[in-house]
């Protein structure tokens, strides 16, 4: 656990010094959501109807912006080889880097969601479900994205390959996340969708660190 926290602190310090990734993710999220009313019109009823889908798609795309750098910096400076040779299991190191990635990207997205919900005229029922679903889904997206980042590591067009690998795997999270908010707006319980999202998170937590560690070992070798 000490080594796990050390990796998390290291990545958080690096993210704080650079600062660009977190700002870029939040800025893209905000701009993407703000631009949608110019395309669909400023009518409050229309925005309230499609607002949850807009937030979800923008959050999904924004979370992908910093995925390529989850392991890229360590791969370039040789730190990744040290992680593979350290006594700490590589799967645990992957999980630590995923935690740092979520703290610097997923958490700011969740924090910006209430303000954007007000701009989109979302009802309170939708917002009350939207924030918890993002709280469950964004760690899942970070875990799945870590697998794609590990598999695309070292390739010439890693960003394009990463998008092709990760986007199809994000579809179930998008469907059930947006469906939870739609159910709340329709007066139905969002509990089934929340349970499915929790199940997806548990599956990703169990499988993705192992898969990402396997990809990292192949990249180092």
Residue-wise pLDDT for 126-175, tens only, equals 788 888 999 999 999 999 988 888 888 766 666 677 778 888 889 999 99
What does the pLDDT average to over 42-71? 81
Cβ neighbours for 133, distance < 8 A, ≥ 6 positions apart? 176, 177, 180, 181, 190, 193, 194, 197
- Three state DSSP letters for 1-34: CHHHHHHHHHHHHHHHHHCHHHHHHHHHHHHHHH
Residue-wise pLDDT for 78-107, tens only, equals 777 777 777 888 888 889 889 988 888 888
Task: Please give the backbone phi and psi of residue 153, each rounded to the nearest 5 degrees, phi first.
Answer: -65, 130
How far is it, in rounded angstroms, from Cα 159 to Cα 182?
32
**Of residues 159 and 116, more confidently modeled:** 116
Indicate if the pLDDT at residue 198 is higher than 90. yes
Indicate if the pLDDT at residue 1 is higher than 80. no
Tokens of 110: 């969740």
What does the pLDDT average to over 54-68? 85
What does the pLDDT average to over 194-218? 91
What does the pLDDT average to over 169-191? 86
Q: What is the pLDDT of residue 18?
A: 67
Q: What is the pLDDT of residue 153?
A: 79
Q: What is the DSSP string of 159-184?
A: HHHHHHHHHHHHHHHHHHHHHHHHHH
Task: Identify whether the C-beta of residue 28 lies closer than 8 Å to the C-beta of residue 113.
Answer: no
How far is it, in rounded angstroms, from Cα 212 to Cα 101?
14
Q: For residue 83, with 0-12 CB atoms within 10 Å meaning exposed, 13-18 middle and 19 or more buried, which class applies? A: buried
Residue-wise pLDDT for 9-54, tens only, equals 887 887 777 666 678 888 888 898 888 878 777 777 777 778 888 8
How far is it, in rounded angstroms, from Cα 10 to Cα 175?
34
């Amino acid at each position: 656990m000490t080594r796990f926290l050390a990796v998390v602190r290291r990545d958080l310090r690096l993210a704080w010094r650079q600062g660009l990734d977190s700002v870029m993710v939040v800025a893209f999220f905000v701009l993407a959501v703000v631009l949608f009313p110019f395309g669909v019109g400023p009518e409050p009823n229309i925005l309230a109807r499609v607002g949850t889908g807009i937030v979800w798609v923008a959050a999904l795309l924004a979370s992908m912006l910093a995925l390529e750098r989850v392991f890229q910096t360590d791969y370039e400076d040789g730190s990744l080889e040290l992680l593979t040779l350290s006594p700490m299991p590589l799967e645990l190191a992957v999980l630590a880097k995923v935690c740092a990635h979520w703290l610097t990207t997923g958490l700011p997205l969740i924090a910006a969601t209430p303000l954007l919900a007000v701009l989109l005229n979302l009802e309170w029922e939708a917002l009350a479900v939207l924030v918890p679903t993002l709280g469950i889904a964004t760690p899942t997206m970070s875990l799945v994205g870590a697998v794609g980042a590990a598999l695309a590591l070292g390739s010439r067009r890693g960003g394009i390959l990463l998008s092709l690998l990760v986007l199809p795997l994000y579809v179930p999270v998008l469907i059930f996340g947006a469906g939870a908010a739609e159910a709340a707006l329709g007066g139905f319980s969002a509990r089934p969708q929340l349970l499915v999202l929790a199940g997806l998170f548990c599956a990703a937590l169990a499988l993705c660190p192992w898969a990402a560690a396997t990809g990292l070992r192949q990249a180092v070798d």
